[in-house]
Amino acid sequence: MRIFQAMGSGASRSVRIWKGLLTVWLFLLMLVSLFALPLKTGLKSGLGNSMITEKLAEGINVEVFTDMGQTWSTVFSALVPGFFIVLLFGFLMNVFFTGGIFSTIRGSAGKFLISDFFRASARNFWSFLVISIMIGLIILGIAFIIIGIPLSMASQSITLSEAEVYLTGMIAVIVFCLLMPVILLVADYSRAWQASSERLACFKALGYGFSRTFKTLLKSYPLMIMLLLPQVLFGWLVLTILPDLRPSSGMGLFLLFVLTQLLFFMRLLLKAWRYASVTGLAEQNAGKTVQQQPEQAGLN
C-alpha cells in the first residue's frame, strides 16, 4: 500500500515541478543543438544544390555520406569528439539539474520556484557529481563481473556450444538487468538523502542509499520495477514509432520536431516520477526512523 502511495504522491510531485523539467528540456535541447546545428550546416554544405537528397528519402543512405568524401571526413572528424563533448556536458548538466529536481520534489519543498530550483541545483552539484560517478563506476564494475567475465569465458570455451554461449550471455544480461533497479535505488536514496540534508556529505549519502535500499528492499525493489516498466515500454514505443515517421514537407517536419520533443518531455516526467516516488518512500521510512532515531534522520 505504501508503494502505491509513494507512486501516487510521486506522480503529483513530478507534475508539480513541470517548470523545472521544462528547464531541463530547454537546456538539453540547447546543448544538443549546439552540436547538431553545425553538423546540419556541414551536411547541407556538403550536399550543396545536389539532388542526391532523393536518395535520403527512405532514411540514412551510407553511400551518400561516402560520396561526400573529404567533406564527410571533416564533418565526421568533428562529429566524434563533438559527440563525446556533448555527452560530457550532458552528464554534467544532468547532474546539476538532478540536484534541483530532488530538492524540489521533496514533500516539504513547498511551491515550486525556479530560483529555488537553480539554487538547489548549484548547492548539490558537487555531491551529486560524486554520487553519480561512484554509482556509474559501480554499474561498470557489476557489468564487467556479471556480463563481461562470464561471456568472455564462455565465448573462449571450446566445449560450450554457441547456444550455450548465447544463453550464458542472456542470463548474464538478465541478472544485470535485475540488479540495475537495486543500483538505481541506491542512487536515488542517496540523492534524496543528500537533497534533504543540511550538509554536503556524498559518501554518507551513498552509505544511506545502500543501507536504505537493503533495509527496505522488499518494498523498494517492487516500487522501482513498477517505475521502470513504464519507462521501458515508453522507450520501446519511441523506438518503434520514430524510425517510421518520414515527413516530406516543412509542416510535417515541424510536427515531427514537436512530437519528438513532447516524447522527450514525457521521458523527463517519467524519470522525475521515479525520483519523486523513491523520495516519497524514503520520507515515509524516514518518518518512522525519525520517531526511533531522530538524530540520524536526514529526510524531512
Partner 1 sequence: MKKQFILLIILLLTFNILSSQIINREPLSARLTGYTIDVNLDHVTKTVRGTVNAFWVNNSGDVVPDIQMHMYMNAFKSSRTTFNRETGGSPGKKSSAAGWIEIHSLTDLNGIDLTPGMQYISPDDGNPWDSTVLEVVLPKPALPGDTVFVTADFETKLPSKIRRTGYNGDFFFVAQWFPKFGVYEPAGMRYATSGGWNCHQFHANSEFYSNHSVYEISITLPDEYVVGSGGMLVSETNIGEGKKTLVYRAEDIVDFAWTAWPGYAVFNTSWEHVDITLLIPHDRTKQVERQFTAVKHALEYLAENVGPYPWPYLTFVDPPARGAGAGGMEYTTLFTSTSSYRMPEWLHMPEMVTIHEFGHAYFMGILASNEFEEPWLDEGVNSFWEARIVDHYYGKNSGLMDHPLLKIADASMSRISYISSPGKQLVNNSEYSWDYPLGTYGMMSYHKAANWLFTLMGIIGEETMNEIFREYYRKWAFRHPSGKDFTDVVNEVVTRIHGEKFGPDMNWFFDQTLYGTGISDYKVAGFRNFIMPDSTSTRRNDNPLDTILSDTDPVYNSIVYIERKGEVMLPVEILVHFNNGEEIMEWWDGKSRHKALEFTGKKKIEWVKIDPEFKIRMDINYINNSMTVEPDRVPVRRIMNKFIAFMQFFISFIML
Question: Applying CB under 8 A, does 68 fall inside the site for partner 1?
Answer: yes
Contact 52, 72 (CB under 8 A): no
**Which range of residues in 11-19, 31-39, 99-107, 278-286 is near partner 1 by CB under 8 A?**
31-39
Q: Which is nearer to partner 1, 26 or 122 (CB)?
A: 26
Residue 113 DSSP class:
-
The reply on whether position 147 binds partner 1 by CB under 8 A is no
Q: Give how far Cα 164 sits from Cα of 150, 154, 171, 209, Å.
A: 12, 8, 10, 37
Which residues have CB under 8 Å from 123's CB, separation 6+?
99, 103, 200
Q: Applying CB under 8 A, does 138 fall inside the site for partner 1? A: no
Decide: is 74 part of the binding site for partner 1 (CB under 8 A): no
Q: What are phi and psi of 203, to 5 degrees?
A: -70, -35
Minimum CB separation from partner 1 for residue 168, in Å? 12
Name the CA radius of gyration of the chain, rounded.
23
Give the C-alpha separation, 29 to 292, whole Å.
46
- Using CB under 8 A, which of 2, 77, 85, 136 touches partner 1? 136
Distance CA 98, CA 150 (A): 34
**Which of positions 250-279 make contact with partner 1 (CB under 8 A)?**
250, 253, 256-257, 260-261, 263-264, 267-268, 271
Choosing from 8, 22, 26, 54, the residue that interacts with partner 1 (CB under 8 A) is: 54
CA distance 98 to 93: 8
Please report whether residue 116 would count as binding partner 1 according to CB under 8 A: no
Q: What x-and-dash track marks residues 220-249 binding partner 1 by CB under 8 A?
A: ---------------x--x---xxx-xxxx
